[in-house]
Amino acid sequence: MKKAMTVPGILLGVICGLASAQTPVAPAFASANLSPAGIRSMAANCAACHGTNGVSVGGAIAGLAGMNKEYLVNQMKLFKEGRREATVMQQLAKGYSDVEINALAEYFSVQKK
């Protein structure tokens, strides 16, 4: 199985992080791994809370499977910008670039509930 983050990718992230440490700009992201395996492993980061492939078990936290793509993108952006109240998602959403959010939204929108 391919790893989502390659060592060069992590190093790039660290270097970009250091480079931007002095100037308060938006965080730089390592280039996204948008291969099918890359997207799957990104989506796996959501599984602990939203269920495997976004199929929620128990219903305490919303399932993401089959959710409208635009809705998903918009909610992630609202969380990221701190415009939607949340317990954990504001912080989590900050870890994803717009390109990654788009890929995640596409992925979950086509999963079967």
Residues in contact with ligand HEC by CB under 6 A are 45-46, 48-50, 61-62, 64, 72, 75-76, 86-89, 92, 104
Residue 19 or 70 having the CB closest to ligand HEC: 70
End-to-end CA distance of the chain: 25
Least distance (Å) between residue 35 CB and ligand HEC: 17
Least distance (Å) between residue 106 CB and ligand HEC: 11
Helix boundaries (H) for the chain: 7-19, 36-44, 47-50, 69-80, 89-93, 98-109
Residue 6 or 56 having the CB closest to ligand HEC: 56
DSSP 53: G
- Dist. CA 65–CA 78, nearest whole Å: 19
Residue 4 or 16 having the CB closest to ligand HEC: 4
